[in-house]
Structure 1
Amino acid sequence: MERELDVATRAKLIEWLKTELLDQVSRLFKAMWDGSALRISDSLAGLIASGYILGRRLGVPYRELDHAIAEKLAKLKQEGHQLEDQYMDLSALEDHIRKR
């Protein structure tokens, strides 16, 4: 019985985190519409934090998620992603993650 409650509690928490992600995306879009740099930054921070926490709740440690992001950036660069080819955004983010 206790195990079933734990599973139900975890499932409920994951569902709540999913709604947090959607809420942060909504806040980001509104902040972008208003042109508020402070609200944009706050929304992006909330979105990233919620993503990391959701990953952890799903069994992905923070360090593993950082590694997966770095691998994803490297793959996108190798594929010739437009953001890399035109702006070097992927390299800049990859460098930032590596230096943390």
Structure 2
Amino acid sequence: MGQPERRMQFAKNVKMLDWLKTELLDQVSNLFKGLYHANQHLMIEAIASLLICIYVLGRRVGFTYREVDQVVTEKLRDHSREGHQLERWYGDLSTLEEYMNKR
């Protein structure tokens, strides 16, 4: 790949990262709007879009989807063991870890 092509690819990657960052903010805003209006459709759409953005952002900065999943699973396990409040009160972390391990 020549120098102009490399510069073009670099600019394209920077632009995509910027777009992903703004998409994350936009979807967080949509999630908050959905919560405020108790709009389940808007909430689930925003949550799904956030998950997609996070995975793609991770890939764009050099991580595989599997690496992201592995680190998430490790964090869930660690937080569960440490007695994180979400785990103590609701069991959310171990439930999510179980779900991720079954995928």
Which TM-score band (shorter chain)?
over 0.9
Deviation at 1:7, TM superposition (A): 0.8
Q: Which range moved further: 74-83 or 20-29?
A: 74-83
Unmatched segments (≥5 aa) in structure 1: none
Give the corresponding residue for 1:83: 86
* TM-score normalised by L of structure 2: 0.94
Give the corresponding residue for 1:44: 47
* TM-score normalised by L of structure 1: 0.97
Q: Distance in 2 between matches of 1:70 and 1:40?
A: 24
Give the corresponding residue for 1:35: 38
**Which of the numbers 71, 75, 86 marks the counterpart of 1:72?**
75
Unmatched segments (≥5 aa) in structure 2: none
Are 2:28 and 1:11 aligned?
no
Overall identity of the aligned pairs, in % = 47
Deviation at 1:48, TM superposition (A): 0.7
Q: Which has the higher contact order (CA 8 A, sep 6+)?
A: 1
CA displacement, residues 18-69 of structure 1 (integer Å, 9 cap, x when unaligned): 0000000000000000001111111100011111111111111111111110
Q: Distance in 1 between matches of 2:40 and 2:70?
A: 29
Following TM superposition, where does structure 1 have runs of at least 4 consecutive aligned residues deviating by more than 2 angstroms?
none
Q: Which has the larger radius of gyration?
A: 2
Aligned length: 100
Q: Distance in 2 between matches of 1:27 and 1:93?
A: 23
Letter in 1 for 2:95: A
